[in-house]
Each structure stands twice: as C-alpha cells, then as structure tokens.
Amino acid sequence: MRSVRSDDGSTIVEFVFLGIVILVPLMYVVLLASDLQRNAFGVTEAARQAGRAYATADDEGSARRRADYAMGLALADQGLSTDGAELRFVAAGADCQGPEVTPTLAPGSQFAVCVVRIFRLPAVPSFVDGGNNTVTGIFVVRIDQFRGTPR
C-alpha cells in the first residue's frame, strides 16, 4: 500500500513566502512615494515662504537673509535639511534653470523664487540612482502696487 504525504502546514509556508515576496517591494514603493512627496511638498512650501519673506522685508539688504531663513524653516518643518538645497531668484515666468536675477522690492515688480533640492532614494546606492535626483519648487512673487518705497 502506498503512503500518502500530508500537506499539513504547507499553506502557512506558502502564505508567508508570498507575503514577504509581495509585501516587501510594496512597502518599499509606498515609502519611496512618501519620501518623494515629502521632498516635493517641502521645496514647494519653502519657495512660497521664502518669496513671502523676501516680499515683506523692509529693505533689500535683509530680504535675502529672511528668504534663506524662511526656506530653512519650511524644509525643517518637513524633516528635511538644507543640505543640497539651493535658493534662486529668476524672472517671473522663466525656468528655474535660467539666469538668476536680483529681485527688487519696487512696487509692481515680479520675480520667481525657486528652491531646488537634491535628494537620495531610500536604501538605493548612489551608483544605481546617480545621486542627483532633484525636486524643484517655484513661487512667483508680485510686489504690491501700493507698497511704500523701500528704505
């Protein structure tokens, strides 16, 4: 008479194996999307806050310092460092890669604030992703027409 092998417990082993094979990559994709969204939101908010800080400055001398500080606060709010972040001012409507301009606080003037940040993909070596993934946030600033002249 032939003996019959029992399959007791094989379902649990298959379930755990497939769970690991499917769940681990899925969790990585979710973490990657979360990190990418955090970086994108951070630079967008940093550009907005830097532009508002620049536009509300009393004079152009302190405006750049205020913008840098506001950028750092907005990035820190998302748990990001200012390492690899660059604050640039370009003409309104221009690409962030365009030539940098010196913004003015004159009534009616416009300029764009760009925050470009390099980020690393989590758990991916730099030789695989190149180490130069960037996210860019841009905010167009319009100085109020009725603003007093800068001091």
* pLDDT value for 7: 64
Reported as a single tens digit per residue, the pLDDT across 94-103 is: 999 989 999 9
Residues 6+ apart with CB under 8 A from 143: 55, 104, 105, 106, 107, 108, 109, 110
Per-residue pLDDT band at 127 (split at 50, 70, 90): confident
Q: What is the pTM of this model?
A: 0.81
Closest C-alpha among 142, 124, 120, 143 to residue 132: 120
